[in-house]
A and B are shown apart, each in its own frame.
Chain A
Amino acid sequence: MTVKEVKDFLSNIQPFQELDDATLGNIAGGVIVEFYPKDTLILQQDGPPSDFLRIIKKGGVKVFIRPDVNEEVVIDYRSEGDTFGLLSLIRGDRSRANVKAVEDTICYLVTKETIQGLLDGNAAFSEYFLKSFLNKYIDKTFSEMHSKSLLYGGGDKLLFTTPVGELASRTAVTAPNEISIKDAAEVMSKRKISSLVLVDQDNLPAGIVTDRDLRDKVVSKGLNVAEPISSIMSVPLMTTEARDYCFEALLKMIRYNIHHLLVIDDGKLRGILTNHDLMMLQGTSPISVVRDIETRQNIEDLVPVSKKINRIVNLLLKEGAKAGNITRIISEINDRLVRKILEIAERKFGKPPVDYCFIVFGSEGRKEQTFKTDQDNAIIYEDPKSPGDGKKAEEYFKGFSDFVKEALVACGFPNCPAGYMASNPKWRQPLKIWKDYFSKWINTPTPDSLLFSLIFFDFRPVHGDIKLADKLRAYLNKTLKNQNVFFARMAGTIMNNRPPLGFFKSFIVEKGGVHKDEFNLKFRGIGPIVDIARLFALERGLSETSTLERLRSLKDKHPIVMELGEEIEQAFEFISLLRIHHQIALMGKSLEPDNFINPNNLSGLEKKSLKESFQLILNIQEAITELYRPGMVNQ
């Protein structure tokens, strides 16, 4: 590992390969080598800023943040040739994320001075870093983005394609630089602007004053407002060319910790760009879709809004959201869409004769939807007081649920081929019939009743009288108590679906057909974990329906989850994210999203993680066999 070897290594990785030989030699000569054993925490969120750019020579790291103590959001896995620590290096304030070695890792460290020099002096070099890093840390402050959940964000691509001039419609308001602080503040408040450009006698910009200056330099210091504005204005002025792309402007703001830039066009002051403008550019965020949904009043207007939902997944992925958060957000948006449709239906058909609750189940019930999936829904309504009332309710919900079904189809949720929809009379029933269904499924061991249990027991209320769903859940938990035979049968289905990992730790793939050399990640990877979490949750009488919530709740209740909960959660997250990435890639090529993965297309780290996840599932399945064996023998 001599200077030459370091140089050779750097010359093969982005963006160092853009640099000339002499520059590379200089960088290589200043490199420091560090070794981190597996699990070393290299950088700590909110800890001291990184003092080096670290380039991974060998090994791999996980970049993640903790929005709060119990939550970990994995932003990225990085491996050989990748770098980390740039943003805190540039800003020099604090580390924005945790970086942990996931295997024994060797890093080359390049000093801050060197990187600063390269960013300033080499356009190709800085552009690369801007793109790769700002994609992940796009928001103006990191903590803000994550504390307000991932509903914000997205649209970052625009940052790289929109010139500043297009955005900076705001013309800069100017004033002579000899006026007083008070006069300047008056102009700002009268014109409702947050910044004022001060010009000299020749009408050339001399400085800028912002709201923040008035706050920090005048009010908090008790400065006399009769003082000239020039005493507090910020000089030099930070400018950006109108033809520059927005990400360059954003980088300047981040680097100099400012919120305003003067936009210069052809040597003249054209306008002002604020960080608010950049935030607005990122526009198509989940929150804006939600707002959009709320304002629509009929189905025709909802259809175009619903089309945006798939795009959000893409944006969230770019934001570095983990699978659990993506599906949570998508479920939240879908719920709002469904609620809106139901509200429209209620207006159309009038007040329902009895209270009802609209429930969803399957992946929708577990809040694990990504791209639009088949409808899985039903209606529970209050037990009618008389046969006449019952008749009225049947009539009402018939038309009502047909309308809802068609509206959902129009908004991109296809009919359920098996007919698990409220439009099917079997699945819109009073509470007491639902209770009968549930006890029958639990007590009569037919394949059908087991299948219904797996699907319907993941139900959750979306709209209407939530109490009806709560009552049904309470009834279910009561009825399931000590139903060891039932649970053994449920455990039996889990044994029948093992992850595709062979004895010698190689992936088992389809030997032929359309999906030759692939396997179904949903059925064979995600499915088993969902089934395991459902089994344990129902057995312990939990009300949660989402797999991650079930696992978290089981942590202090079930010995297996107590021991392996963290790992199961991570495996579930990892496989789910892999699936979403796969589907996004297919949709990018205008193909239908499917669940078939060819393991040969995975990176080394992905393969390793997937094998570990599969192995974990196999181990838990073994443990379940031990637990339920007596009941399973009679299958």
Chain B
Amino acid sequence: MLAGFFSRKDDTAPLAIGEAEYTVIDTELTGLDLKKDSIVSIGAVRMKGARIDIGASFYQLIHPSSGMDHKNILIHGITPSEVEQKPAIDAVLDELSAFCGDSVIVGHFVSLDINFINKELKRTGRKNMKNAAVDTCKIYEWIKSNEGPFSRHYTARRDELDLFSIAREYSISFNEGHNALSDAFITAQLFQRFLSSLPGSGVKSIRDLLKIGKA
């Protein structure tokens, strides 16, 4: 259903995955309903190949266009009063797209984040994101199904596929915070691990990467 976003994918195809530019992105939302809910914060970090550039990060709290319910406040820890003085998403969108540039978007279940961003882009009369995008969860599932003699029988339970469980499996240390920026950093480190092992499994170019992990 997301195929329409990626008109650029053929341009980026021959690029090696170790050479490409990436933006690892995460959003916190008021809820999961694309119609009713909206973005409370966006965190993103740039990678050049497998190098995470700590300084090149993006973080913005956003005054959501929809109400915040209590359950989600508990998850992301952002209270209504914190975002009251923050800009509305309209003011943040251009900055975000400038930050992303032409890079490949990376995220855990990233189509959800992209859907919300595109909703806002559309609402404010802008065009959808055109960047190629890959989902670290899909890459993880591909790696699992590709390794070991029992891999064919591998089926993860949904609850084992969340970012923190996978990060733990790769011994990535983190504070379980649900802050969009720190989650983006965790995702970036996970993606970094993938980038080091994927060429050995034959995934060498962005074209290959999209084949196994396109969001």
Contact = CB atoms under 8 A, between A and B. Distances in A.
Interface of A: 1-3, 5-6, 28-37, 40, 58, 104, 106, 108-109
Contacts of A104: 171
B186 A1 contact: yes
Given A2-B57, A33-B54, A33-B189, 11 more contacts: A3-B54, A5-B182, A28-B54, A28-B55, A30-B54, A30-B55, A32-B53, A34-B51, A40-B196, A106-B189, A108-B54
Nearest to B177: A2
Closest 9 CB pairs of A and B: A33-B52, A29-B55, A31-B54, A1-B185, A35-B192, A32-B51, A30-B55, A37-B196, A32-B53
A35 B54 contact: no
Contacts of B173: 58
Nearest to B190: A35
B192 A33 contact: yes
Q: Is the interface of A mostly helix, strand, loop or mixed?
A: mixed
Interface of B: 50-55, 57, 171, 173-174, 181-182, 185-186, 188-189, 192-193, 196-197
A6 B54 CA distance: 8
Contacts of A32: 51-54
Given A33-B189, A33-B192, A35-B196, A3 B57 contact: yes
B211 to A, nearest CB: 23
Contacts of A5: 182
A183 B87 CA distance: 77
B90 to A, nearest CB: 26
A2 B50 contact: no
A37 B55 contact: no
B196 A33 contact: no
Nearest to B49: A34
Q: Which of A6, A40, A58, A106 gathers most chain B CB within 10 Å?
A: A106
Nearest to B200: A37
A255 B173 CA distance: 38
A1 B175 CA distance: 9
Nearest to A1: B185
A185 to B, nearest CB: 52
5 contacts: A2-B181, A3-B55, A33-B188, A40-B196, A109-B51
Contacts of B189: 1, 33, 35, 106
Nearest to A59: B171
B100 to A, nearest CB: 19
A35 B193 contact: yes
Contacts of A33: 51-52, 54, 188-189, 192
B193 A2 contact: no
Nearest to A108: B54
A40 B185 CA distance: 23
Contacts of B57: 2-3
A562 B198 CA distance: 33
A145 B186 CA distance: 44
